[in-house]
């Protein structure tokens, strides 16, 4: 008997998915447990396995097409079945058509995706990332968003790339766009091209450049990167499934959870020195601990001592956990994702580093498994690598707390009667006041501060 492969529900809020890529073609054999397709949900791109062995007889949904949960995606011919006959039977079935092609959806207003999972959503402040490594560096990571040019046909049927503002000016001044060459990105015609075409002789002539005599050394001149002037264009960016889920979940979290915030400053000078020594010992293994690894270890230890913070709340019941499954907010191009480091309380620093790197890399590649994105009991959001001094994150429901980790930096602090320079870090706990009281949150932070300021306590 042939086996149907249907769209699985890969998250508890998933109502439809997109077949990104088929890993098997029609006529190819497939084993039980073998990866057969890549499916995009509202959270990530995940690999789908086949539970049956046989030959792929028919691929019902093409790459790039959407399909509702439970709808038919493919059929496998098992046993001694003839794949061609199975395919013919499939074609005669009455099937529910896929939702739509991406190209068709582009012509419509984007619909909001289903709400993100209550057990794991890309919460917290924009750009969160779990990879602190150095101290006090505020290097800015620039991201360039590439937008496709907007093509418009001219009278001869040729596709002319032109900005909306330039198109309006051309229509008003009766300028034939096909006679112009664009100077914008991708050859796009912009406002400047129309101004030059209308009045080429009105452009001012640049004054002659005077050069210094050969025996005079010109003083050094600071040159900043050229600033590109705006051209009046407007760009409408449709929400992706993930961004829609983030928007819904963030709104629901802030509307429904009474957040309160507590911040504590931690002296991590001794921790930094210990990290240097341990990294020297681990150098032959090519393992380099980050400050974030110590924070994760300390958070796990503190949560075991304060189970009221290591909990979830569903509106009627509070569930406290004896194990720590730590969520790590990770920035990806389309938004945020929170992979979960399970049983982190049982790991040493070296294992935390190795497991964290693997999870973060696969999260950015959107190759996480379902159980690696669910079941977190607490979340850490780290913006230390961006040089952020202090921030507050948004709780990831149904969890009752999230820790915002800022940069470790040198600050002037008072020790005794002296002002000295110490490596300091600000930590901010966001807590659900329905479950966690202010004193409970403060006790958790005090324990965390003690562990980080006396890092040897984490090793015993």
Neighbouring residues of 173: CB distance < 8 A, sequence distance ≥ 6? 194, 198
The pLDDT assigned to 193 comes to 76
The alpha carbon torsion through 13, 17, 22, 25 (nearest 10 deg) reads 110
Number of C-beta neighbours around residue 344 at 10 A: 24
> What's residue 59's pLDDT?
92
Query: Which two three-digit tokens encode residue 247?
Result: 């928007």
pLDDT for 131: 42
Which CATH code fits 3-106? 2.40.50.100
Distance CA 239, CA 251 (A): 15
Q: Is residue 155 within 8 Å of residue 178, measured between CB atoms?
A: yes
| CATH entry 3.30.559.10 includes domain 257-459 | yes
Catalytic residue among 137, 259, 325, 433: 433
The secondary structure element, H or E, covering residue 90 is helix 83-92
Annotated catalytic, 433? yes
* Domain range annotation of the chain: 3-106, 257-459
pLDDT in tens, the chain (460 residues): 788 999 887 665 678 888 988 999 999 999 988 889 988 877 677 888 888 899 998 999 998 888 888 889 999 988 888 888 888 888 877 444 444 444 443 433 333 233 333 334 443 333 344 443 444 433 333 333 333 333 444 544 455 667 666 776 777 677 877 777 777 666 777 777 777 776 544 444 444 444 444 444 444 555 555 666 667 888 888 888 788 888 988 999 999 999 999 999 999 999 999 999 999 999 999 999 999 999 999 999 999 999 999 999 999 999 999 999 999 999 888 788 899 999 999 999 999 999 999 999 988 887 888 789 889 999 999 999 999 999 999 999 999 999 999 999 999 999 999 999 999 999 999 999 999 999 999 999 999 999 999 998 887 6
């Amino acid at each position: 008997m042939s086996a149907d492969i249907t769209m699985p529900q890969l998250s508890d809020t998933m109502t439809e998915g997109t077949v990104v890529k088929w890993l098997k073609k029609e006529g190819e054999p497939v084993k039980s447990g073998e990866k057969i397709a890549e499916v995009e949900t509202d959270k990530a791109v995940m690999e789908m396995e086949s539970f049956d062995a046989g030959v792929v007889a028919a691929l019902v949904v093409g790459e790039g097409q959407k399909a509702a949960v439970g709808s038919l995606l493919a059929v496998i011919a098992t046993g001694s079945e003839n794949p061609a006959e199975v395919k013919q039977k499939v074609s005669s079935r009455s099937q529910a058509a896929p939702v739509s092609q991406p190209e068709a959806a582009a012509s419509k207003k984007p619909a909001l995706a289903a709400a993100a999972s209550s057990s794991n959503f890309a919460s917290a402040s924009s750009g969160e990332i779990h990879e602190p490594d150095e101290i006090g560096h505020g290097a800015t990571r620039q991201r360039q968003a590439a937008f496709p040019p907007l093509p418009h046909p001219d009278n001869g049927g040729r596709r002319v790339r032109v900005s909306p503002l330039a198109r309006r000016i051309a229509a008003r001044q009766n300028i034939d766009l096909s006679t112009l060459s664009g100077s914008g990105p991708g050859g796009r015609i912009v406002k400047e091209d129309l101004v030059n075409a209308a009045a080429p002789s009105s452009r001012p002539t640049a004054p002659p450049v005077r050069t210094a005599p050969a025996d005079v050394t010109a003083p050094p001149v600071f040159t900043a990167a050229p600033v590109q002037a705006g051209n009046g264009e407007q760009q409408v960016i449709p929400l992706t499934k993930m961004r829609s889920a983030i928007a819904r979940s963030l709104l629901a979290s802030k509307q429904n959870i009474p957040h309160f915030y507590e911040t504590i400053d931690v002296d991590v000078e001794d921790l930094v020195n210990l990290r240097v020594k341990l990294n020297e010992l681990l150098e032959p293994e090519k393992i380099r601990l980050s400050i974030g690894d110590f924070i994760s270890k300390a958070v796990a230890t503190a949560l075991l001592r304060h189970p009221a913070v290591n909990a979830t709340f569903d509106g009627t019941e509070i569930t406290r956990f004896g194990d720590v499954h730590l969520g790590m907010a990770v920035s990806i191009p389309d938004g945020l994702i929170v992979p979960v480091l399970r049983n982190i309380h049982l790991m040493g620093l070296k294992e935390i580093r190795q497991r964290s790197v693997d999870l973060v890399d696969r999260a950015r590649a959107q190759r996480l498994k379902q159980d690696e994105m669910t079941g977190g009991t607490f979340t850490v959001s780290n913006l230390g690598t961006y040089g952020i001094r202090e921030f507050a994150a948004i709780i990831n429901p149904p969890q009752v707390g999230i820790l915002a980790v800022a940069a470790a930096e040198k600050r002037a602090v008072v020790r005794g009667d002296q002002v000295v320079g110490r490596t300091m870090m600000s930590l901010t706990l966001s807590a659900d006041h329905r479950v966690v009281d202010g004193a409970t949150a403060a006790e958790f932070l005090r324990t965390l501060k003690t562990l980080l300021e006396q890092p040897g306590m984490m090793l015993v």
